[in-house]
Amino acid sequence: MTVMIPTWVGGDLVAVEKLEAHQKGLRHKAISVFVMHGQEVLIQRRAMGKYHTPGLWANTCCTHPHWGEEALTCAERRLDEELGLTGLTLNYRDRVEYRAAVGGGLIEHELVDIFVAEVAARVTPIPNPEEVMDTDWVTLADLAARTRATPDQFTPWLRIYLEKHAQQIFA
């Protein structure tokens, strides 16, 4: 299935196929979600079949809105598609921009709407094996330490969020 995502080309926002946006390093819209329980965050390990960053740990979920899809709708959709999580209250935190090589000559140049869901108790995800191979609850302090000690086990964007945008996301 071809997925068209909102991408800036020559200053205009247009629909571009997702893989093409990554191959050309075009700036495009994205969302990222962090599900939190106190100081713990739910992280996921990306499935080995993903076309970039397979097997790496990432935040709870992230993706690109489809053309014409609102960011909140996209975040809710993707939590369900990747982790079987529904009914969470997502709070918009901020918009950040980053550019990072993700392997195989692909580049993520994203303008990301960040959402956080605070849960009263740890939720139990039901991972879609085509998307997610593992999940874990970790404290923010432990996650930050792990990303510094073994950065190659984590996606570039998760490392960027923790290094440059933690105050915006977790304050």
Measured between alpha carbons, how far is 93 from 113 in angstroms, rounded to an integer? 8
- Looking at domain 4-170, its CATH superfamily turns out to be Nucleoside Triphosphate Pyrophosphohydrolase (3.90.79.10)
Active site residue 81: no
pLDDT higher than threshold 70 for residue 144: yes
DSSP state of 158: H
Of the candidates 76, 82, 108, 110, the residue annotated as catalytic is 110
* Mean pLDDT (the chain, rounded): 96
For 61-83, what is the mean pLDDT? 97
pLDDT score, position 2: 81
Question: Rounded to an integer, what is the distance from CA 114 to the centroid of its chain?
Answer: 9
Of the candidates 62, 74, 82, 108, the residue annotated as catalytic is 62
Active site residue 62: yes
Reported as half-sphere exposure (CB side, CA atoms, 13 A), residue 141 has a value of 2
pLDDT higher than threshold 70 for residue 1: no
Measured between alpha carbons, how far is 59 from 47 in angstroms, rounded to an integer? 13
